[in-house]
Structure 1
Amino acid sequence: MKKLATFIAGLLFTGLITAVAAANDIKVGDIDIAHPHARAMVPGAKVGGGYLKLTNTGSTDDKLVSITSDRAATTEVHQMSVNNGVMTMRSVAGGLVIPAGQTVELKPGGFHVMFMDVEKPFKEGEMIKATLTFEKAGSVDVEFDVGSAGGAGGKDHHSDMGGMDMSKPQ
């Protein structure tokens, strides 16, 4: 009887974890959107980063063409790169392609959502509403769960952007 109770408790726990994980997952058309999250911003900061995974379950490519949020004057997909020891960050011109059958992860150090001209810095525990628009799948509302400023990976590259080239692509 004790083994049965332990087994049932294990199933319930697994179900709870699955439900919590699925609560942050969204689907629009052939695009699965997993775990949208952002980092808390320091007081006075005007830019913030957002992260998520986009999986195209379809047989044709799609493209993330725009992002809007009432918490930022401008919201774009950016790509960070380091060339010859110089870190640069630029908006992705023309949208971010999500190839058929593949996952594109927006994460620190690569592609990411850039919230710019933020009036009220994001605080840990908040949910930041945004609308993602895909070329084929259409538009969908998402909420970015705001975690700690440091995030799991340590210091956020958005917290110290002095001297960074954030120019628009030519």
Structure 2
Amino acid sequence: MTRFKTALALAAALLAFPAFAGETLMIQDPYARTMGGVGTSGAVFFTVMNHGAEEDRLIDARSDVAQKVELHTHKDDGNGVMQMLHVPEGFVVPAGGEHALARGGDHVMLMGLTREVADGDVIILTLVFEKAGEVVIEAPVDNARKAGMAMDHSGHQMQHGQTEGSD
């Protein structure tokens, strides 16, 4: 393994560790996918785990890598066509539960990338929660990652129940 690949594997392993918001929320397995160069779009995915006794809500996200950052979801228009919609009210994270932001579902949308973002780059994202406040996470760009894949703490990928076609 080259030094570069070793450094990338180490960075991925370090980034796979969860981020914490106070003592109640944990952000697990963040990663991003992008469409390419400046002006294009991308998305960030992760799971929010709430170990607290009351629900919280993800209400906003910010990043300097995009002109506009919004919370989005996918919805069937009734004719078999999926539409991406802004969700201004955010996503509830139930007490003692979790909320997954995953491909084909809820996610953080990055619109109008302000710089070139490629595989291996890290996107800094500030998540804003109604009760827990702001949480800063690092999401490595992994355009080759298949839906349902998660990183274990050693930097290896593990399969988690979704099929590749479930974007």
Q: TM (normalized to structure 2)?
A: 0.74
Contact 1:39 1:122 in 2 (8 A): no
Higher Rg of the two aligned structures: 1
DSSP-derived class of the 1:147 partner: coil
Change (3 A) 1:151 1:45: farther
5+ residue gaps in structure 2?
1-9, 148-163
RMSD: 2.3
Contact 1:63 1:96 in 2 (8 A): yes
* Number of the residue aligned with 1:5: none
* Number of the residue aligned with 2:49: 55
Contact 1:80 1:90 in 2 (8 A): yes
Give matches, 1:159-170, under 5 Å.
Answer: none
> Of the candidates 54, 79, 101, which is equivalent to residue 73 of structure 2?
79
5+ residue gaps in structure 1?
1-16, 158-170
Contact 2:16 2:28 in 1 (8 A): no
Change (3 A) 1:38 1:23: closer
> Of the candidates 30, 40, 50, which is equivalent to residue 36 of structure 1?
30
Identical aligned residues as a percent: 34
Change (3 A) 1:155 1:115: farther
> Of the candidates 64, 83, 88, which is equivalent to residue 88 of structure 1?
83
Which of the pair is proportionally richer in helix? Answer: 1
User: Which amino acid is 1:43 matched to?
Assistant: G
Q: How many residues align?
A: 138
User: Which amino acid is 2:120 matched to?
Assistant: G
Contact 1:62 1:135 in 2 (8 A): yes
Contact 1:81 1:87 in 2 (8 A): yes
2:124 corresponds to 1:138? no
Q: Deviations over 1:124-169 (max 9, x none)?
A: 0000011111111111111111112x42135896xxxxxxxxxxxx
